[in-house]
Amino acid sequence: MPMTIEQVVERAHEDGVRIIRFLYCDPSGVIRGKNVTIGRLASKLVEGVGITRAQNAVNLLEQLVHIEGMEPVGEIRAVPDPDTYSVLPWLPGTASVLCDQLDHDVRDWGCCPRSFLKGAVADAASLGIRVMAAFEAEFYLAEATPDGIVPWANGPVYSSAGMDRAASVMYDIVSALERQGIEVEQAINEYGPGQQEIAIRYADVLTAADRHLKLRDTVRGVTEVQHGKIASFAAKPFAHGVGSGAHVHFSLWDLAGERNLLHDPEAGDRILSTLGRSFLAGVLEHLPALIALTCPSHNSYERLQPGAWAGSTVSWGMDNREATMRVASPFRGREEESINLELKACDSSCNPYLALGGLIHAGLDGVRRGRVPPEPARRDPARMTDEERARCGIRPLPATMQEGLAALAADPVLFPALGELLGRAILALRGAEAEALDAMSPDEARLAHLRIF
Ligand code: GLU
Ligand code: MG
């Protein structure tokens, strides 16, 4: 049952909350917002807080980019979804809610990523599909030293020693997530020095995006406020050390949420249902453009390299960690529930609403056109012959942010789906970022991303 405004106010009082953050994620992937005090909560939950249209015209580098329609004239409202209320366990008396950005007529003002995702959900529903997803979040724990910011809690990768060194922070993160109703499935000492991963339970896509933002805030808040360390969700925070992904695991269900439509017991070695294969084919066709939404930062492209398990080509395979789209093998005894697709070309510098909305539009295009994917990659694409690569339809992904943005602008499905203002804003905001970051040294450019997400 969705929470009512009265229930949120009552809960906030019971929780001893004094300050409520009204948050939204902007087109640059930054979580921004305003604080509201408890006395004003009831009215602000209805009317939202005012923000200037130009607030979304600020990019990652805090450049105020001139975008027509997003001038510093005119106000919009950040209106919370009551269901997103949760306390912030790393701070006393504080909670947060996530907002839609609406015009005075209470509709998307044209640049609301959360509304964009809702539109994609409705599109999928018109074809009888309900998309469920979870982001698998990787991040680095780090500390500031006289020599700069360096990884912290290093241990042999995947090791119990690494777990011990990170335990003080990781245990607090897991319990802070659980206090917010976010069920943690696995917490891993990942491959990089000080790199960690947290996998949470899947949910409908809107909730999955909301939870990913809550997770980013929680990891950063617990690490910085409670432990005086640094957490970085940048895609490639350190030159020497693998990147951090936010792999999207997703599955397609019927509208009642009873049947996983990816699963077809008769499919045999075709692995996926016909619907699943068409959705996959759509994602692969649009992937070069989609990464401008899923791996949108300058730093993202440093991660998308061969040999890093991050995906660097248009490719798919069964449990193939070098294929950008992986069909994850189902678990014994719960085959139908557990079969899912994993998009590896996604990182936490994304706006999760844009990433999931783009993914859905790409896949639905494949479904509408009854597309069929090429042969799966049965080996690491980098080790295949040219002929094998051609058979599997393997081609490179854009290598730079500029190339990714050009692919997005040229995509006949994804770009129009964003809507006129949002599409134009992304190109302008990101284009300015790309230009400025291209002019920096690689170290400076990397550092510019380290503490943003
Ligand atoms: N760190 C890798 C990435 O950037 C993923 C490693 C894994 O498969 O978990 O996506
Ligand atoms: Mg991982």
> pLDDT tens digit string along 134-172?
999 999 999 999 999 999 999 888 899 999 999 999 999
Q: What are phi and psi of 132, to 5 degrees?
A: -115, 145
Per-residue pLDDT at 303 exceeds 80: yes
| Helix, strand, coil shares, percent, the chain, to 5 | 40, 20, 35
Which of left, alpha, beta for 271 (phi over 0: left; psi -120 to 50: alpha)? left
CA distance 60 to 447: 12
Report the 10 Å Cβ neighbour count for 308: 18
Pocket test for ligand 1, best of 238, 247, 295, 324 (most atoms within 8 A of CB): 247
Please, which pLDDT band fits residue 329 given cuts at 50, 70 and 90?
Answer: confident
Q: What is the largest CA-CA distance in the chain?
A: 67
Determine which residue's CA is closest to atom 8 belonging to ligand 1. 309
In sign, the C-alpha dihedral spanning 275, 281, 286, 288 is: positive
CA distance 430 to 296: 8
Substitution site in 232, 236, 244, 322 for ligand 1 pocket (most atoms within 8 Å of beta carbon): 244
User: For residue 311, which atom of ligand 1 is closest to its CA?
Assistant: 10
- pLDDT in the model for residue 405: 98
pLDDT-derived band at 406, boundaries 50, 70, 90: very high
Least confident of 187-191, 221-225, 402-406: 187-191
Asked if 322 and 311 count as a contact pair (C-beta separation under 8 A), the reply is yes
Residues with CB under 6 A from ligand 1: 138, 191, 242-245, 303, 308-310, 321, 344
Cβ-proximal residues to 307 (8 Å cutoff; 6+ apart), any chain:
322, 382
Instruction: State the distance from the centre of ligand 1 to the C-alpha of 433, rounded, in angstroms.
Output: 25
| DSSP one-letter code for 104 | T
Q: How far apart are CA 333 and CA 177, in angstroms?
A: 28
First to last CA, the chain: 31
Q: How far is the CA of 53 from the centre of ligand 1 (A)?
A: 36
362-395 pLDDT, tens digit each:
999 999 999 999 999 999 999 999 999 999 999 9
Cα 261 from Cα 253, distance rounded (Å): 5
DSSP lists the bridge partners of residue 78 as: 49, 101
Beta bridge partners of 140: 195, 232
How does residue 338 score in pLDDT terms, banded at 50, 70 and 90? confident
